[in-house]
Amino acid sequence: MPLGTSRAQARFDIVVPTTGRAALAGLLEQLVDTGAGRMIVADDRRDGPPLRVPAGVEVLRSGGRGPAAARNVGWRAASAPWVMFLDDDVRPAPGWSTALARDLTGRPARMGASQGRVSVPLPPDRRPTDWERNVASLETAPWITADLAVRRGALLAVGGFDERFPRAYREDSDFALRLQAAGWSLERGTRAVEHPVGPAGPWVSVRKQAGNADDALMRALHGRDWRARAGAPRGALPTHVATTALGLGAAGAALLRRRRTAAAAGAGWIALTARFAARRIAPGPRTPREGLTMVATSALIPPAATAHRLAGAVRARRLTRGAAPAPRPAHRPDAVFLDRDGTLVVDVPYNRDPARVEPVAGARAAIDRLRAAGVPLAVVSNQSGIARGLLTPDEVDAVNARVEALLGPLGPWLVCPHGPDDGCDCRKPRPGLVLEAAATLGVDPRRCAVIGDIGADVEAARAAGARGVLVPTAVTRPDEVDAAPELATTLGEAVDLLLGTA
């Protein structure tokens, strides 16, 4: 079905993790004309023949380490300001890309993610089966990654997805909670995808109990109230544990020939199992096959859930004790390079008067935090007024000295005196000033960050391989905001983002 190509300003790459399901080919064909910058398929099979994909689609291997690892492989290879994650079996609705652009363009600087709306088609001529109802719960699940656009800066800030979650379960809730804890907001968009019910055998509900192990990890990482904060239903684990205990008690008492105890525990096990089976049978198609499946699996689910939860608790304890560290935010920069006008001080065009220098709100406190953290500083500033004859180098130096008098030492000053048409390598958005600042401080530019107020600042950072953070002002164009890899509303917030304290 045609999706329509968006001409909106928000730029995005698409990442599709896959295990090679047949639906992948149809999805990729739909995505060809969406306007995505890059389309990346993260192949999470351990082996197998190369995937057949349309021209222009990149395929990266993630080695069968699970969907969290596959998404990480994909977004780390992406470069657009937004990364659009799609499951390999969804079907975007007509107009999906236009709605996506609308969902992403002009969003608040701290909006970290946008979730699409998921619909699950169910049979129109009968009641859904237990498995179909399970899949249909995706329609109301918060922050699932079936259709989730994430700002690249937010991914950098929290380190992406936690690869300690080995299956497609709870890794999305964990990611959402970490985003929110880091100060990012999550919103629902208007775009829509359809998530068909895939084939499943009669024992699928028993296999799905492995997710109880991930619930144990969620509790270890996020505390007892994680379900309420993640919008996850409470589940039936307490009843499953009670059912399992009664069943084991009945068996143990029988072995010890304690008939009354065995009978009482057995009656309790039968009652709880029958109630569980009845609750699953009642809303379904009530066919003989479905009924038999529900009875058999209702007896197996409680012990499976209990065993997975116990094993998960042991694993979670080991993982959270340091055997496998949590994903860390992007590294603290080895140096921070700051634009002057509009970033450190209020922009006064072609200012030659030190008396007119006025620091932006909170600038001194923000710079002091960088100094306290031991982060070297430098200033990288375009001063085309020199080339235009509106300023002299001495006047620029006098203004710079006043900036340091008000804000304290800022490290080396790297100034481009050229005009836009001079063809120099130092004028931002070219990387010359950033590279020179890094060389002066003896640091790798790829481990540095640039803070500025216009697109040229973050483009210079990108060209030098550095991290760029945009702090928009009244003069920042909307397209520059949409294209920024990371956004902050104030200089102080940008510093918190770089130091990992946001």
> Which residues form the catalytic set?
339, 341
DSSP 8-state class, residue 197: P
Going by C-alpha positions, the residue among 113, 88, 94 that lies closest to residue 12 is 113
Name residues whose C-beta falls within 8 Å of residue 98's C-beta, 6 or more positions apart in sequence. Answer: 3, 4, 6, 8
CB count, 10 Å around CB of 324? Answer: 12
- Quick one: tokens of 147? 């259709």
Name residues whose C-beta falls within 8 Å of residue 175's C-beta, 6 or more positions apart in sequence. Answer: 143, 145, 158, 161, 162
Name residues whose C-beta falls within 8 Å of residue 138's C-beta, 6 or more positions apart in sequence. Answer: 118, 120, 144, 146, 195
CB count, 10 Å around CB of 111? Answer: 17
N-term to C-term CA, the chain: 42
How many whole angstroms from its chain centre is CA 404? 38
Cα separation, 430 vs 437, whole angstroms? 13
Going by C-alpha positions, the residue among 396, 399, 380 that lies closest to residue 388 is 396
How far is residue 159 from each of residues 71, 155, 156, 163, 271, measured CA to CA in Å? 12, 6, 5, 11, 47
DSSP 8-state class, residue 85: E
Question: Cα angle at 487 between 481 and 490, to 5 degrees?
Answer: 110
Angle between helix 432-441 and 455-464 (nearest 10) = 60
How far is residue 359 from each of residues 78, 91, 175, 342, measured CA to CA in Å? 36, 51, 37, 9
Cα separation, 437 vs 335, whole angstroms? 9
CB count, 10 Å around CB of 31? Answer: 21
- Quick one: tokens of 391? 């300023």
